[in-house]
């Protein structure tokens, strides 16, 4: 200690900003919002280091509880168990789940009310929609516990990249990460949680310059968002010699991260890229740690099965359908839910020491890039956000955007009874907002969206300049 009396005393805060944010701000946030994020995060920060068998035991315990709840309170499952002559005691572990059929979005769409638990007050149901990787809008309900565990899981996943609550962060994304119609409280939370939201729409040269200046001024510890958008920003920074963006890490999600995107982001911003994978309707959350050996699966949140086309488990290193059982959504339980994603599990363990198993890679998600007349590439995902807007959600049952030529787009639509020409006009205006009015946009009303040879459905197909597209991304 400096004892020189002439040296002015410097007062140091009792708590560091991160400790304050974690120990004071987050619990206050919970108290105001009636959430439980802080406590759940504390538990998750401990459980990530548990031994694999302890995590399995925890998972099976939650599974038994969910199964009992579903049989007792959820009409669909009550009837299903009766039909199959099963009782809740027949499903004790993950391995027993094979006794139940795979659940698809179509199954749920047929009678969504039958999946809602009867003992959950209707007023506490929280409405969610997702277009997910399949692109088709899907509506479901969760309760407040799901919101808390999802947020806590997200914060833990960011923690794998070194993030601490209170760190400032830039989010560059579309509506799946930056919803427009959020309550005032969420906007305030964004403000206080040191989050600078930047829309990934219309990333032209002027906007990229403006964003880079904003980011330099904000000096974030982390940047997160759609990999295609961050890669465009990174390329722009490299091309213009802008070298002052130096976050501790970049976290990517919502689209498949390509190797070249990872390289360009890492090179422009001088940091590691941490990819994350989520499927919110399935309760999926998987994130890379600093070892980059795959994605740590959050087994406390959901049961993962990786199955071949015949429903048999695939071996370590083989590609399989990701089947999820969310262990937290008691409002509308989905057991053995196929959200349409595929991935490769692995038996390898991670040198970081976490007991959470690894998902080697995601194989079933691709979001195409749109090519503009000047050669600029735009991420496709934001363009499909229009299908989550207002009346369009119910008027359009299914959709697909095809870029035939630089200035020519075809929108395939499967309509519901509430569809009208005004809906097409609204979609057209939205697309023109991003593409410019020179773009010709045609609509095709179809009975069904065609699938690829591999029977996969693609929400966006770009037929233009694919070679350059791949090279650039």
Residues at the interface with Zn ion (CB under 5 A): 289, 291, 350, 352, 354
The residue among 102 and 352 lying less far from Zn ion, judged by its C-beta, is 352
Minimum CB distance to Zn ion, residue 361 (Å): 15
Minimum CB distance to Zn ion, residue 269 (Å): 22
Q: Are 342 and 319 in contact (CB under 8 A)?
A: yes
CA 442, distance to chain mean position in Å, is 30
The phi-psi region of residue 118 (left if phi > 0; otherwise alpha if psi is between -120 and 50; otherwise beta) is alpha
Residue 393 CB neighbours (<10 A)? 17
Angle (CA) 219 224 226, round 5°? 135
Burial class (CB in 10 A: 0-12, 13-18, 19+), 88: middle
Tell me which residue of 400, 378, 332 sits closest to 109, measured CA to CA: 332
CA 88, distance to chain mean position in Å, is 31
DSSP-derived 3-state class of residue 346: strand
The residue among 86 and 352 lying less far from Zn ion, judged by its C-beta, is 352
Tell me which residue of 389, 405, 397 sits closest to 446, measured CA to CA: 397
Residue 241 tokens read as 């010699």
Q: Are 307 and 315 in contact (CB under 8 A)?
A: no
Burial class (CB in 10 A: 0-12, 13-18, 19+), 64: middle
Minimum CB distance to Zn ion, residue 155 (Å): 17
Minimum CB distance to Zn ion, residue 55 (Å): 14
The residue among 33 and 352 lying less far from Zn ion, judged by its C-beta, is 352
Minimum CB distance to Zn ion, residue 282 (Å): 22
Minimum CB distance to Zn ion, residue 352 (Å): 3
Minimum CB distance to Zn ion, residue 350 (Å): 3
The residue among 327 and 356 lying less far from Zn ion, judged by its C-beta, is 356
The residue among 196 and 356 lying less far from Zn ion, judged by its C-beta, is 356
The residue among 38 and 346 lying less far from Zn ion, judged by its C-beta, is 346
The residue among 105 and 354 lying less far from Zn ion, judged by its C-beta, is 354
Residues 6+ apart with CB under 8 A from 415: 395, 396, 397, 423, 445
The residue among 161 and 386 lying less far from Zn ion, judged by its C-beta, is 161
> CA 146 to CA 165: how far, in whole Å?
20
Minimum CB distance to Zn ion, residue 274 (Å): 11
CA atoms within 13 A on the CB side of 188: 7
């Amino acid at each position: 200690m400096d004892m020189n009396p002439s040296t002015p005393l410097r007062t140091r805060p009792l708590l560091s900003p991160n400790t304050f944010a974690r120990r004071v701000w987050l619990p206050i946030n919970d108290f105001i919002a009636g959430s439980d994020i802080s406590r759940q995060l504390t538990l998750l920060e401990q459980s990530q280091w548990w031994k694999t068998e302890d995590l399995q035991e925890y998972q099976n315990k939650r599974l038994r509880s969910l199964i009992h709840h579903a049989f007792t309170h959820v009409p669909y499952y009550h009837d299903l168990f009766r039909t199959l002559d099963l009782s809740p005691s027949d499903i004790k572990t993950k391995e027993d789940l094979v006794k139940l059929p795979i659940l698809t979005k179509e199954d749920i769409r047929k009678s969504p009310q039958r999946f809602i638990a009867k003992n959950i007050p209707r007023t506490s149901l929280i409405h969610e929609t997702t277009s997910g990787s399949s692109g088709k809008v899907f509506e479901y309900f969760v309760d407040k516990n799901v919101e808390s565990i999802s947020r806590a899981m997200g914060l833990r996943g960011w923690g794998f990249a070194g993030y601490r609550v209170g760190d400032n962060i830039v989010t560059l994304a579309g509506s799946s990460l930056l919803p427009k119609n959020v309550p005032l409280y969420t906007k305030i939370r964004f403000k206080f949680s040191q989050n600078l939201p930047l829309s990934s729409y219309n990333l032209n040269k002027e906007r990229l310059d403006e964003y880079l200046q904003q980011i330099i001024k904000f000096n974030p510890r982390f940047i997160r968002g759609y990999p295609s958008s961050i890669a465009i920003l990174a390329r722009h920074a490299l091309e213009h010699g802008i070298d002052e963006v130096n976050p501790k890490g970049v976290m990517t999600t919502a689209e498949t991260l390509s190797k070249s995107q990872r390289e360009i982001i890492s090179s422009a911003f001088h940091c590691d890229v941490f990819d994350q994978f989520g499927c919110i309707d399935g309760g999926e959350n998987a994130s890379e740690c600093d070892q980059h050996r795959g994605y740590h699966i959050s087994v406390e949140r959901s049961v993962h099965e990786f199955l071949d086309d015949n429903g048999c488990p695939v071996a370590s290193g083989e590609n399989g359908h990701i089947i999820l059982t969310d262990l937290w959504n008691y409002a509308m339980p989905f057991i053995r839910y196929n959200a349409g994603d595929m991935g490769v599990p692995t038996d390898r363990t991670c040198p970081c020491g976490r007991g959470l198993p690894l998902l080697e890679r995601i194989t079933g998600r691709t979001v195409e890039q749109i090519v503009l007349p000047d050669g600029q590439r735009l991420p496709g995902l934001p363009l499909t956000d229009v299908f989550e807007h207002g009346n369009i959600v119910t008027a359009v049952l299914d959709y697909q955007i095809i870029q035939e030529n630089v200035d020519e787009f075809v929108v395939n639509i499967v309509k519901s009874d509430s569809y009208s020409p005004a809906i097409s006009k609204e979609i057209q205006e939205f697309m023109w907002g991003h593409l410019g009015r020179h773009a010709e946009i045609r609509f095709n009303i179809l009975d069904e969206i065609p699938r690829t040879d591999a029977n996969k459905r693609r929400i966006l197909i770009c037929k233009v300049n694919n070679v350059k597209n791949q090279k650039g991304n």
